[in-house]
């Protein structure tokens, strides 16, 4: 099995290929979600929330239906968006204010989508495995988020 950095290098190349021909943010967020869903092991949700005013609105994703609106500063997604920093939560049940969308979720990582200094939304991944996400996931997902924001128009 390939290492995590190698896996993310492959995903980055695939993402660049996908976003090369189109800048539509919905199409690209949909393909990013699918790429992660099928490319990364042990996920039960992968997708994007889009910034709309002072809240995050559900965007393209893979997994079970999820909560539609998340205020900035609330939950893992709203906290990562408000602080503009990637948030790794090894155990969501120990995170005060976690918003439970799928009872299968035990760990979560949220990466802010920022382009030209502007917050556009967040990339959110959930896993049933406690401690599923680490610094290598953060590095890989931040690189993918960067390719997405550079390769897509604002939502
Ligand atoms: N758990 C997130 C909500 C979104 S779902 O995981 C898809 C949160 O606390 O912000």
Taking only the tens place, the pLDDT of each residue in 123-152 is 999 999 999 999 999 999 999 999 999 999
**Longest Cα separation, the chain:** 43
Of 6 and 102, the structure prediction assigns the larger pLDDT to 6
Which protein residue has the closest C-alpha to ligand 1 atom 1?
99
Domains belonging to the chain, first-starting first, are 4-151 (3.30.450.40)
Task: Give the whole-angstrom CA distance, residue 104 versus residue 102.
Answer: 5
- Whether the per-residue pLDDT at 1 is higher than 80: the answer is no
pLDDT in the model for residue 68: 97
Task: Give the whole-angstrom CA distance, residue 57 versus residue 68.
Answer: 6
pLDDT in the model for residue 77: 98
- CA of 63, closest atom in ligand 1: 7
Taken in order 61, 6, 14, 79, the sign of the CA dihedral is positive
pLDDT in the model for residue 2: 79
Percent of the chain scoring above 70 in pLDDT: 99
Q: Mean pLDDT across the chain, nearest whole number?
A: 97
Closest CA to 123 of 102, 95, 144, 96: 144
Q: Of 44, 45, 61, 67, which is best to mutate to test ligand 1, by the most ligand atoms within 8 angstroms of its C-beta?
A: 67
The pLDDT of 47-66, averaged and rounded, is 98
- Whether the per-residue pLDDT at 80 is higher than 80: the answer is yes
* Cα→Cα distances 144→45, 53, 56, 96, 98, Å: 17, 24, 20, 28, 24
CB 148 within 8 A of CB 32: yes
The pLDDT of 21-27, averaged and rounded, is 96
- CA of 66, closest atom in ligand 1: 7
pTM equals: 0.97
């Amino acid at each position: 099995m390939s290492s995590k950095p190698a896996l993310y290098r492959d995903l980055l190349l695939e993402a660049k290929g996908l976003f090369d021909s189109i800048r539509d943010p919905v199409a690209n967020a949909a393909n990013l979600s699918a790429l992660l869903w099928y490319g990364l092991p042990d996920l039960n949700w992968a997708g994007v929330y889009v910034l709309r005013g002072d809240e995050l609105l559900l965007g393209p994703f893979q997994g079970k239906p999820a909560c539609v609106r998340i205020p900035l500063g609330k939950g893992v997604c709203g906290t990562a968006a408000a602080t503009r920093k990637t948030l790794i939560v090894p155990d969501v049940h120990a995170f005060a204010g976690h918003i439970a969308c799928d009872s299968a979720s035990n760990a979560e990582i949220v990466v802010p989508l920022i382009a030209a200094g502007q917050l556009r939304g967040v990339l959110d991944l959930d896993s049933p495995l406690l401690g599923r996400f680490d610094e290598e996931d953060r590095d890989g997902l931040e690189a993918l988020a960067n390719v997405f924001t550079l390769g897509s128009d604002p939502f």
